[in-house]
Amino acid sequence: MLEDNYAAVQKKIAEAAIRAGRNTEEVKLIAVTKTVNLATVKRAATLGIRDFGENRVQDAAEKVAALPELNWHFIGHLQSNKVKEVIPHYGLIHSLDRLSLAGALQKGADRSDLTVEALVQVNVSGEESKFGLEPRELVPFLDQVKIYDRLILKGLMTMAPFVDDPEETRIYFRRLRELRDRCRENHENLMELSMGMTNDYEVAVEEGATMVRIGSAIFNAHQ
């Protein structure tokens, strides 16, 4: 059941935070609703969940429009021609992964007289199949996007490789945290670390995640 799943995830987050000597309140749970319908999102909201993640503009449109009072996070690959549909509805874009997208976000935000908050996606594992900047591209990228005054960068995001033993993901989460710490010397607003999914969120919390993006563990009962 949704309620039990949510309680179990919250408990595991709290335990992982304690193991790492962290405060649970530093970790925001984002419920990823890409596989569920509007009615299920509403039920999740009644449990007190306020942050929701979607990865496809079209599939999410109905849910996002129906529940504007919730905090929506865009977590999927974002095409530049879709930014105008995303900017008004989403509070945070987790997947800024290229300069051209930064330019499109600046332009879209300028047109609607808004600002856009985003995380820079980094491909720390180097897997070919994954989006994101290479770690060595990050500092030059941060310097290049400084000219975009409508774009507010809040931190970094990554996806770890999918492996059987979540312990194997630790190195990637640690690398993202170290990258953030290094970047913060010049970009002090880079606080957030969006990392950890159903398979590996406990390790991510131990390594400093400030946002975990969890779908299956909340919405698929067998987890």
| Three-state DSSP class for residue 59 | helix
Per CB under 6 A, the list member of 27, 151, 190, 197 interacting with ligand PLP is 197
Nearer to ligand PLP, 94 or 177 (CB): 94
* Interatomic CA distance for residues 63 and 38, integer angstroms: 5
Nearer to ligand PLP, 5 or 198 (CB): 198
Q: How far is CA 186 from CA 16, 25, 92, 166, 223, in A?
A: 30, 26, 22, 32, 41
Closest CA to 96 of 183, 173, 194, 188: 194
Nearer to ligand PLP, 55 or 106 (CB): 55
Nearer to ligand PLP, 125 or 198 (CB): 198
Residue 60: its H or E element: helix 57-66
Task: Tell the smallest beta-carbon distance from residue 32 to ligand PLP (Å).
Answer: 4
Binding pattern for the stretch 46-65 against ligand PLP, x by CB under 6 A and - elsewhere: ---------x----------
* Interatomic CA distance for residues 204 and 22, integer angstroms: 12
Return the range that interacts with ligand PLP (CB under 6 A); candidates 13-21, 133-141, 143-151, 194-202.
194-202
Number of residues that bind ligand PLP (CB under 6 A): 14
Q: What angle do CA 149, 61, 130 make, to 5 degrees?
A: 65
Contact residues: ligand PLP, CB under 6 A: 32, 34, 55, 75-76, 159, 197-199, 213-217
